[in-house]
Amino acid sequence: MVKNRLITSFIVITLAACITGLQQPNWPATPSYGSYTPPSGPTYYVSPSGSNANDGSRDRPWATLSYAVQQLRPGYVLRVLPGTYNESVQVNVSGTASQRITIISDTRWAAKINAQGQLFGIDVRSSFVDIVGFEVTNASNTGIISWRPHNRLLFNYVHHINAQCDSNGGSGVNMSPYADEGLLLGNLVHDIGNLSQGFCTRIHGVYAAAPRVVVQNNIAFRARGFGIDTWHAVTAATITHNLSFANLYGGLKVGSGDNTRGNRAENFLVANNIVINNPRGIVEEFNTGLNRFLNNLSWNNGTSNNVNWRLSTSTHQGSLSTNPLLLNYQPDGTGDYRPAQNSPVIDYGIREGLPPFDFLGNPRVLGAAPDLGPFEVR
Ligand SMILES: [Ca+2]
């Protein structure tokens, strides 16, 4: 009996490893935060082996994120230790402009939120909160969502979100219409929606719907809609240094509509992005004005009819339409998406809209100029 159980356990573990292996992209380095460091305010800890009766110290951590976030005050840092957390986390406490609240996976992507059966993995309903470095899966609408201004979603890994193609739609990471000036930076987002059901124009990877949002260094692929999408109340967004590929409807959309705040999608800066191998590339849709599209690479979008650009109220300058020569492009996420040494994206970027570092937390500008996309190579 014991032997049989061991064999069964071994098979289960092996199967799990195989499945994880298929889902886990072959990213170029052990993910870390590079030169990013959280602030040094009062610091508390959560661990799956902790207890909510503990005091939240490193030696006596709390057990659940849902309990821990209720203990936070402005300036606090919550370090979430490795392990799986089967919960949906709602954040209701705000920081301040000078004392942000930081909720961080102690090791990048090692704190895993499994939100099976819940709408959201992490649901931020307050302001001046940073959500950093979590892996989030299995939510039924959106992995991480912000409802209020001044929040930042940094370095997270969101995948396999089970959004339905109905009026609610869904997304990987989301700055909703009142999340003004939110920052989406360095997130890896893929498999958003059930891909076997084909494209859906309401389910996106990175979704930004509020005024003056900033979208930088993100990697989005295999969403049923656009890899990167703007809609609702968005205006004056900054979208730079992202990589969007192999999404089912399109690569990058600038658009506004269905909007109770009366904004138009105008005064955007869309620069230094790489958009490849989607059915359509970079587009403007519905209520748009004058936007700046500078030094983007849009290539191989569309098969029978190549549609790298479809702008309605703006023009694009400095664009490349050529193979970016990534080290090992694979449409399923198992490749290596850093540019090769001879890539045309190296040093091709403009300096405006520059993020503080790249996807890996490394210094953003090396060499003569920024590289297009999320990685700064040299
Ligand atoms: Ca460079």
State the Cα torsion 35-38-40-41 to the nearest 10°. Answer: 170
Helix (H, G, I), strand (E, B) or coil at 207: strand
Distance 340 CA to ligand 1 centre (A): 12
CA 124 to chain centre: 15
Distance 325 CA to ligand 1 centre (A): 15
Read off the pLDDT of each residue in 147-160 and give the average, rounded to a whole number: 97
Rounded Cα–Cα distance for residues 170 and 140 (Å): 8
The pLDDT of residue 279: 96
Q: How many domains does the chain have?
A: 1
186: in domain: yes
Distance 372 CA to ligand 1 centre (A): 8
Tell me the one-letter amino acid at 19: I
Distance 174 CA to ligand 1 centre (A): 29
136: in domain: yes
Distance 109 CA to ligand 1 centre (A): 27
Distance 200 CA to ligand 1 centre (A): 36
CA distances from 256 to 70, 224, 233, 284, 329 (A): 35, 19, 7, 9, 32
345: in domain: no
- How big is the chain by its Cα radius of gyration, in Å? 20
208: in domain: yes
Is residue 289's pLDDT more than 60? yes
Is residue 325's pLDDT more than 90? yes
Model confidence at 27, pLDDT cuts 50, 70, 90, reads: low
Model confidence at 300, pLDDT cuts 50, 70, 90, reads: very high
Q: Quick: pLDDT tens for 76-103.
A: 999 999 999 999 999 999 999 999 999 9
CATH number of the domain encompassing residue 272:
2.160.20.10
Owner of token pair 């920052």: 183
Distance 366 CA to ligand 1 centre (A): 4
Distance 249 CA to ligand 1 centre (A): 31
185: in domain: yes
Comparing 9-23, 92-106, 220-234, which segment has the lowest mean pLDDT?
9-23
Distance 364 CA to ligand 1 centre (A): 8
372: in domain: no
124: DSSP letter: E
Distance 378 CA to ligand 1 centre (A): 5
Distance 348 CA to ligand 1 centre (A): 8
Distance 343 CA to ligand 1 centre (A): 11
Does this model's pTM top 0.75? My answer is yes
Q: Quick: pLDDT tens for 92-137.
A: 999 999 999 999 999 999 999 999 999 999 999 999 999 999 999 9
Domain residues for the domain of 223 are 2-339
Is residue 258's pLDDT more than 90? no
Distance 363 CA to ligand 1 centre (A): 10
155: in domain: yes
Confirm if 172 and 202 have CB atoms less than 8 A apart.
no
Distance 376 CA to ligand 1 centre (A): 6
Ramachandran area for residue 328 (φ above 0: left; ψ -120 to 50: alpha; else beta): beta
Distance 265 CA to ligand 1 centre (A): 30
End-to-end CA distance of the chain: 58
Of all residues in the chain, the percent with pLDDT exceeding 90 is: 88
Is residue 214's pLDDT more than 80? yes
362: in domain: no
CB atoms within 10 A of CB 317: 12
Confirm if 37 and 59 have CB atoms less than 8 A apart.
no
Confirm if 298 and 326 have CB atoms less than 8 A apart.
no
